[in-house]
Structure 1
Amino acid sequence: MKLIKSYFYTTFFILFTISFFAQVKNIGLPDVRNYKRNEYKGGTQNWNIGQDKNGNLYFANNNGLLQFDGSSWKKYPLPNLTSVRCLKIGDSGKIFVGGYNEFGYFQPDNKGKLKYTSLAKKVDKNKIKIIDFIWKIHAVDNQIIFQSFARAYIFKNNTLTILKAPKRFQFSFVVNNRLYFQDIEQGILEYKNGKLYALPNTKSLNSTEVWAMYSIGKGKTLIVTLEKGLFIYENNTVTPWNTEANNFVKKNNSLGASVINNKFIVLNSVLDGIIICDFNGKIIQHINRKKGLQNNTVLTSFIDNKNNLWLGLDNGIAYVNQSSPFTYFGFSYDISTVYASVIHQGNLYVATNQGVFYHAWNNNFKEDVFKLVEGTTAQSWNVQIIDNELICANNRGALVINGGRVTRIIDSKGYFGFKKIPNHPGFFIGSNYDGFAVFQKTGAGLTFKNQLLGFDKSSNSFELDQSYLWLKKDESIYRMTLSDDLSRFSSIKKIDRLTSKYRNIGSLQQIDGKVYFQTNNHFFRYSTEQELFYEDKHLSDLFKNIPVINALSEDSQSNLWYAFDESIGVLMKEKNKYKNIVAPFSNLTGNLVSNYLSVNTIDSKNIFIGLTDGLAHYDPELLNNFTTKPKAFIRSFSFPGDTIVLGNNQNKTENIRVPYSSNHVRFTFSSPTYENLENVQFSYQLEPFDEKWSNWSTISIKEYTNLREGDYTMKVKVRNSYGIQSEPSIISFTISPPWYRHFLAFMLYFILLIITIYFISNRIKMKIRKNKYYETIEQRRLYLEKESKIRQEQYDLEKEIEKLKNDKLQIKILAKDKELVNNSLQVVKKNKILNGIIHKLKEIDIDALDDSTKFQVSKLNKSIVKEVNTDKSWKDLEKHIKNVHFEFLKRLKEKYPTISPRELDLSTYLLMNMSTKEIAEIMNISGGGVELARYRLRKKLGLNKKENLIGFLMSI
């Protein structure tokens, strides 16, 4: 019993939560994203939409079945290439489709690829030649019903039966698990137990096409027609549903509807987009081309598993983010960049770069646009309430607004904003383009008093406390003291650092009536008594784990809104604690106005945030499923030669083996998270290849090349635009080793190794024997070579000895030659002396001598002449010299053929190192003759003056 109660409470809570999630805001427009045909690569018209258990979306398109997984689009055409007009996803995961003369289902094969099976082939072509268009598909009581105009084809237990239309079917519908057909003659028929039963009093609808039927309460069925409007079928009676929604349908025609969790109705129109109304017919939202749709003709609508709305258009697809707590006022409401907003006297005012615009706060926002406040057409920096007066800080000056127009210009200078002056009731200070001005509240309203003297810098960031006016300019602050008469600044001090540790000031703000100075998320206050800055540790701790902020603002509910980078977050005050909320605002990243944090908190359900392209409305009480974890899918795993598609509701693929030749693998990722797809990011890790998870990236494809053999596990996780991460999706696979690293290959290698070792062992033994033989021969050869070398050295030594002997002999010969020459010279001298004696004897007068003396002189003369004539030593000397120096004379003659014999003799004498006197005596010429002969010889040998003649002759 307790288990039943627990189940009941859990079920009630889930249903209540889902119902609570299914909110449709009547303030602003949800975010709309359009998909054009060049994006999804299909036809223009999209007739039907479905979603499988994994969150993948399917569209019945003119060019076939489209599949969208959040990352990529795929198209699956029918065999006859006709358009798909309807689809239905069965509990088994089969995707049933219908087109012209064709119907069947797509189902993943063992590789996960969607393959088509035709059921139209089961139709007997002899009996039914033309199937016509299949317009509707329903799943009821384990039956799949394909409906055309002429008949319905019922598929059950792999058998096809046919239900003929009484006259002609229009369309069919399932309401509370009951199947209904509209017949053009018999009205609406209910299908039960293989037969059709007419609903009473429904023939009145025969003149129009019924495009949808939904239960909107106990016993009440809403009937949506093409042209006649909306009807309620209750108690067997059809009555018009006279509501706002009915008027819209009558005016714009309807092509069907869908229901958001039994609470809201989406009505598709032919001419003007869609409306969303409640079960009382009150229009809550109207979305058309002007408000973001790319086409006004909506062929179908679908609520996905997160209560977001998908629209199949006559040209394209649209996604409407209904589950978000944000709605927007943008270009369709005629407002641009918003710097501030405020509610005054029942109107919402927004200050923009084009002026101040307003809209009635209590009226419905669905159709009206914002109106321009007359006289504010210029840059408007702020709009605020001061003592019940609405004041605009405008480029044209300080303007008073009342009744949708400017009623008074207080001052013509451009202003940034206004604040009360403490301790001076009724006085206000305004920051203008020339510094600051003082205003006073009088009976006539706010009036200009005077411009403050002594300071002319301007900024929109300033605060006042009991003692000072603080101004932030760039990264410095100015501490200024107002004079008692509020006419000037009595003191001004520029401060560049709060403490010695912290330089530059990040923001200036007032929290709970106190002025704070922030740098690097550290908050300081100023002590007037001690004249120093001290840190508020409690406030600093609140921002300890928050990125460095650049602006901070406290709203009317004491919540702290902060800006960082190009995003915002909020510390929501709950009793005495703060809760940091940042995830929902990630969708606003990049759209915030730089240096102008504009947050207007009206109450706990209505918060307005200024954007560069309009105004965002945030309802924090709309707890929705954006906080749920997204799902990550490894969409496909491919390698050369094969692709395995995952996430198509097929059975898990196990034991994936990849050949080593195909070790170039590729993964694609997806996540059925369709909100802010540009901010959806993936992270992956291939174990054991990757040591850590990859950095987050919007890229949904990853390739790996040249992977080694082994077991791998690919893990992928996704992070949605709110920063929430999914659980990892995992796929395991094995890369087979190449044939040369296979187990059998290693066995073969082992056997070959044994054989090789045996073979090498034998070869080594043979080699050793052969080496010993060759070693013996080599030793013999070395011995013979050594012996031969010794003999050669001995021979060379003998030759060297012989050469030395020859050289010694030559030296001896030269010495003998020298000695011989000397002897010969002595002989020559002797002969010369003897010739002189002969000449002296001839001078003796013989006749004066006696005979005996005369005989003795004559005998002496003959003896001397005989000695001179018989002395052949000179000829022997000459002959000897030529014999000794024969080789020299030969080389000299060959080298210088023109040399004379006498010059040869001179060269020989010079080579023998004979002196000039000796040569003169031998050659019987004077010393000058010798020098002249030497000169002629040098000239013939081609020597210059600096070259040594004897050295040259010795080198020959």
Structure 2
Amino acid sequence: MMFLQNKLSIYLVLILLCLGVKRINGQEKNSGLPKINNFSKKDYNAGTQNWQIDQDTIGNIYFANNNGLLQFDGNSWQLYKIPNSSNIRSVKYDRTNGRIYVGGYNQFGYFESNLRGKLVFQSLLPLIDGTESKTTDFIWKIHIVNDEVVFQTFHKAYIFKDNEIKTLEAPKRFQFSFLVDNNLYFQDIEYGVFEYVNGVLIHLKGTEVLKNTEIWSILKMPNNALLFALLEKGLYTYQNEVVTPWETEANDFVKKNSTLGGIAILNNSLVFNTVLNGIIICTIDGKIKQHINLDKGLQNNTILSSFIDSNSNLWLGLDNGISHVSINSPFTYLGSSQNLSTVYGTVIYKEYLYVATNQGLFYRLLNNIFSDDSFKLVEGTTAQTWNVQVIGDDLVCANNRGAMLIKNNKVAKVLDNIGYYGFKEIPNRPNFIIGSNYGGFSIFEKTKTGLVYKNKLGDFDKASNIFEHDGNFLWLKRDNILYQMEISEDFKAFNSIKTITKFNDTVNGINSLQRINNEVYFQTNNHFYSYSKGQDRFFEDRKLSNYFKDLATINTLIEDSHGNLWYVFDESLGVLMKNKNRDYTNIIKPFSNLTGNLVPNYLSINTKDNKNIFIGLIDGLAHYDTTVSNKISVPRAVIRSFIYENDTIMQGNPQQSSFNIKIPYKSNNIKFTFSSPEYNREPILYSYKLEPFDQEWSLWTKNAMKEYTNLIENEYEMHVRVKNSYSNVSDPTLFKFRIYPPWYRHYLAYICYSLFIIVSMYFISLWMKLKIRKDKYYETLEHRKRYLEKEARIISEQYKLEKEIEDLNRDKLQTKILAKDKELVSNSLQVVKKNKILNGIIDKLKKLETSDISVETKSQLHSLKKSVLKEINADKSWKDLEKHIKNVHFEFLKRLQEKYENITPRELDLSTYLLINMSTKEIAEVMNISKGGVELARYRLRKKLGLSRKDNLTGFLMNI
């Protein structure tokens, strides 16, 4: 930190800014601490010190950080620099035009959104008139009053209006300035406090006593009084032109720890920042209600600035970090900073709050002063403590080390040294108490001297903290089994023990055992049953069941002292608050932030009154005040940015205009980021739908980002909604954009395509007409060509047919010739046979001539012989046959002789006989040789023709 000039106190090393009065709706509680969320430098990645704070209409929070303007949208942080100065001291959002005014060292101006939604800085230094130096020093405060923006430094103030800057000189030297109910006040280090009215400073009489002091805030008080918060001297009131010390508890604290200003809450509470010890919240009368410092959850004890946001919660700018304090909540918490751990039970006894924890029994005054709010251990109870109860006039602790009687905040007596879970009065026998312990049950009795241990009850050794007595039976639930036990009249034994696993044949399982309206009920699947001893059966209480018919299945239920029914479902808490008409109102949403933080199977609810309900948690105690307004607002969904290619559209900045986003097809990979101005650090869930790409809403997710790739050309609408920890769902936020088609699918391209098609069709039509004429011409030529070819083919086919006929005739003639040859051969062979017969006859006739016959007979025989010889000699049929065969087969013989020049006439004759398919016998007869001679001749012919035995000789000759 740096030293400031002109007699600033050395405390300026620790302080950095104070905020003026600001009225806002909000409420605070006396008991416990509000939930605190801390943001370190690592979280927001900027400077350590955070000065002034403001919020825009969207819900974004802005911090004047020593590294620049810091913006937080509930999901992400953004840091914006200003030229020539990184150290920003003041920030103010203008709701009329969406500008964010900032001031730093030798620089001031405003941020506003450009056409892409990005915040761009515009310096106002060029508007300063004349030749005066542009060295403005630090801009400590910025105020918007009427239609003027006031930038305040130590030496002067710059008034920005109608795009002009006027200078307001300090009477001596300004300290700080403050806006209270649209009245602007300046402190002058020499003359006191001035009010800025119509461009001039009007001195407040009586404030000159404050010269040479450092006022860090001016707050409005009742009866038109003002409250001055001085750095070292504490708190002073100003009324009727008189400054007097504000002698209160708050003033004592502030003087001890030095104040850095403060803020008013709803005119009935005040917040004061300190240098050394965090913040205090006090009443308008100065009584401290809460003290929050480093030991109680803050990151730092030096509070530079404070701010109430639109949800009526408190933001603190620290010397190192940022804190968010949920003061607008019906819940506060008592945890480790008050020495509490896991809480199993609570009770209020003689103005003290006693808390049973896993470390022992702790206590503190119920309405204690802020400086003594930690719990103290009851001496002798250091062990697991399951419960603490008021029995008669006695305070009894159910401890791991026994049943303990507590007096004067210490163990007065150990009634029984076995571990206990809890105690119940026996109906109709109010002087007797039954206790559940690690070994079963025991009986205690109320006496004139107090509660005393009486005896162990029977030998039943099942242990559980869930048990009730209905006047007839002792009921115990352990796991999913219900035990029904009848106690003897002397309370020493069990007359009967019955095990129950279901209420009837249609209902299985037992979820809970509880007492409601002084009657014991058994519950399964949100159906409640009571037991009738006379009929020995369970009956459903339909009226009670109807209260839970639309709720999730509950597993634990207890009735508090006011008749409210508290229940647990899925590790979440709900309550049926009893109305004046004895009906119930179901309340769930306020307890959503307790989900998962309840102690399993040990629901602890202690209702003192509507302002004091204590709920046991695994990390302490929650204090619930039903009278504190807790309007659970509907969250707001913000599309923070829209990213495509190398361009980004920022949606979540003020002064944004509607965007007409047109994206080229090559940039059809897009990305959205989301946010919601919810700052409790509870889970914010997002759901989105890109129409027409998505048909249904997406599942709820914590991921505040969504990417789409390869989107086709179309007009799109991105819908985003959020759900907060109270299950409230926002209205959808809409973002429209259009992806243009690629050039080849653009409407101009389709026009070109259409023109091209029309022109093409025209030229194709012309071309088709030309082609048709040309085709007709070529078709005529083709027809003529085909006609001529057909005519030529007919002539050719006719010629071929004639030739085939000729060949067929020749073949037929040849066949006939062969047949005739065969016939001639056959006839010739018959002639040969006839001639042989005739020659035989001649030989016989010659023999007869030599025989002894008559001359006449011999003459006749001789004449007959001559006739026969004449016939034989006259027959030339064989020669005619040979001649005929040679004539018919002349071409064959010619080819054969040309091919085989050494063939003999005899072999030619044999070849001819074979050609006409004469048999060996016929050939032998014709050639007048034996069959063996024919075979030999055939063999010689084969050799001459070059044929083997396997070759067909006749077939070979036919192929020549």
Counterpart position of 1:856: none
Q: Is the 8 A contact 2:194 2:201 kept in 1?
A: no
Of 711, 735, 740, the residue aligned with 1:707 is 711
User: Does 1:101 find its partner at 2:82?
Assistant: no
One-letter identity of the residue aligned with 1:713: E
User: Does 1:165 find its partner at 2:170?
Assistant: yes
**Structure 1 residue 763, shift from structure 2 partner:** 4.1
Q: Is the 8 A contact 1:411 1:448 kept in 2?
A: no
Label 1:801 to 1:82 Cα distance change in 2 as closer, same or farther (>3 A): same
**Structure 1 residue 710, shift from structure 2 partner:** 3.7
CA distance in structure 1 between the partners assigned to 2:179 and 2:496 by the alignment: 80
Q: Is the 8 A contact 2:400 2:419 kept in 1?
A: yes
Counterpart position of 2:945: none
Equivalent positions of 1:36-185 (< 5 A) are 36-92=40-96, 93-123=98-128, 126-128=131-133, 130-185=135-190
CA distance in structure 2 between the partners assigned to 1:99 and 1:36 by the alignment: 22
Q: Secondary structure at the match of 2:508?
A: coil
Q: Deviations over 1:32-52 (max 9, x none)?
A: 001111211211100100112
Counterpart position of 1:413: 418
Counterpart position of 1:277: 282
One-letter identity of the residue aligned with 1:680: I
Of 439, 445, 469, the residue aligned with 1:434 is 439
Counterpart position of 1:612: 618
Q: Deviations over 1:51-101 (max 9, x none)?
A: 122322111001111112222221111111421001122242221111101
Unaligned runs of 5+ in 1: 1-17, 805-921, 924-956
**Structure 1 residue 606, shift from structure 2 partner:** 0.8
Q: Is the 8 A contact 1:285 1:366 kept in 2?
A: no
Equivalent positions of 1:212-291 (< 5 A) are 212-291=217-296
CA distance in structure 1 between the partners assigned to 2:708 and 2:739 by the alignment: 12
Counterpart position of 1:363: 368
Label 1:779 to 1:223 Cα distance change in 2 as closer, same or farther (>3 A): same
**Structure 1 residue 176, shift from structure 2 partner:** 4.0
Of 585, 588, 600, the residue aligned with 1:594 is 600
Q: Deviations over 1:394-423 (max 9, x none)?
A: 221222222211122222222222212234
Q: Secondary structure at the match of 2:251?
A: helix
Q: Deviations over 1:774-799 (max 9, x none)?
A: 77888899999999999999999999
Equivalent positions of 1:4-43 (< 5 A) are 22-43=26-47
CA distance in structure 2 between the partners assigned to 1:367 and 1:791 by the alignment: 135
Greater displacement, 157-166 / 371-380: 157-166
Counterpart position of 1:202: 208
Q: Is the 8 A contact 2:23 2:264 kept in 1?
A: no
Label 1:444 to 1:128 Cα distance change in 2 as closer, same or farther (>3 A): same
Q: Secondary structure at the match of 1:202?
A: helix
User: Does 1:324 find its partner at 2:345?
Assistant: no
Of 577, 581, 585, the residue aligned with 2:587 is 581
One-letter identity of the residue aligned with 1:76: Y
CA distance in structure 2 between the partners assigned to 1:109 and 1:120 by the alignment: 20
CA distance in structure 1 between the partners assigned to 2:793 and 2:600 by the alignment: 100
User: Does 1:720 find its partner at 2:724?
Assistant: yes
CA distance in structure 2 between the partners assigned to 1:147 and 1:58 by the alignment: 19
Counterpart position of 1:394: 399
Q: Is the 8 A contact 1:26 1:366 kept in 2?
A: no
Greater displacement, 342-351 / 108-117: 108-117
Q: Deviations over 1:838-882 (max 9, x none)?
A: xxxxxxxxxxxxxxxxxxxxxxxxxxxxxxxxxxxxxxxxxxxxx
Q: Deviations over 1:672-701 (max 9, x none)?
A: 232x33322233333333333333333333
Q: Deviations over 1:500-538 (max 9, x none)?
A: 333222222221122222222122222333333332221
Label 1:366 to 1:761 Cα distance change in 2 as closer, same or farther (>3 A): farther
CA distance in structure 1 between the partners assigned to 2:781 and 2:304 by the alignment: 104
CA distance in structure 2 between the partners assigned to 1:190 and 1:669 by the alignment: 44
Q: TM-score normalized by structure 1? A: 0.79
Of 574, 583, 597, the residue aligned with 1:569 is 574
Label 1:181 to 1:766 Cα distance change in 2 as closer, same or farther (>3 A): same
Q: TM-score normalized by structure 2? A: 0.79
User: Does 1:475 find its partner at 2:487?
Assistant: no
User: Does 1:748 find its partner at 2:745?
Assistant: no
Counterpart position of 2:304: 299
Q: How big is the alpha-carbon RMSD for the aligned residues of Structure 1 and Structure 2? A: 5.5
One-letter identity of the residue aligned with 1:621: T
CA distance in structure 2 between the partners assigned to 1:779 and 1:595 by the alignment: 105
Q: How many residues align?
A: 903
**Structure 1 residue 268, shift from structure 2 partner:** 0.6
One-letter identity of the residue aligned with 2:620: G
Q: Secondary structure at the match of 2:699?
A: coil
**Structure 1 residue 124, shift from structure 2 partner:** 5.7
**Structure 1 residue 543, shift from structure 2 partner:** 0.9
Q: Deviations over 1:203-231 (max 9, x none)?
A: 4441x322111121224221111112122
Counterpart position of 2:355: 350
User: Does 1:757 find its partner at 2:757?
Assistant: no
Q: Secondary structure at the match of 2:325?
A: strand
CA distance in structure 1 between the partners assigned to 2:376 and 2:802 by the alignment: 131
Label 1:444 to 1:238 Cα distance change in 2 as closer, same or farther (>3 A): closer
Counterpart position of 2:914: none
Q: Is the 8 A contact 1:186 1:198 kept in 2?
A: no
Q: Secondary structure at the match of 1:317?
A: strand
CA distance in structure 2 between the partners assigned to 1:731 and 1:270 by the alignment: 46
One-letter identity of the residue aligned with 1:308: N
Counterpart position of 2:733: 729
Q: Secondary structure at the match of 1:679?
A: coil
Q: Deviations over 1:243-267 (max 9, x none)?
A: 2211212221111111112211111
Counterpart position of 2:688: 684
Counterpart position of 2:821: none
Of 660, 664, 675, the residue aligned with 1:659 is 664
**Structure 1 residue 765, shift from structure 2 partner:** 4.5
Q: Is the 8 A contact 1:168 1:184 kept in 2?
A: yes
Q: Is the 8 A contact 2:106 2:135 kept in 1?
A: yes
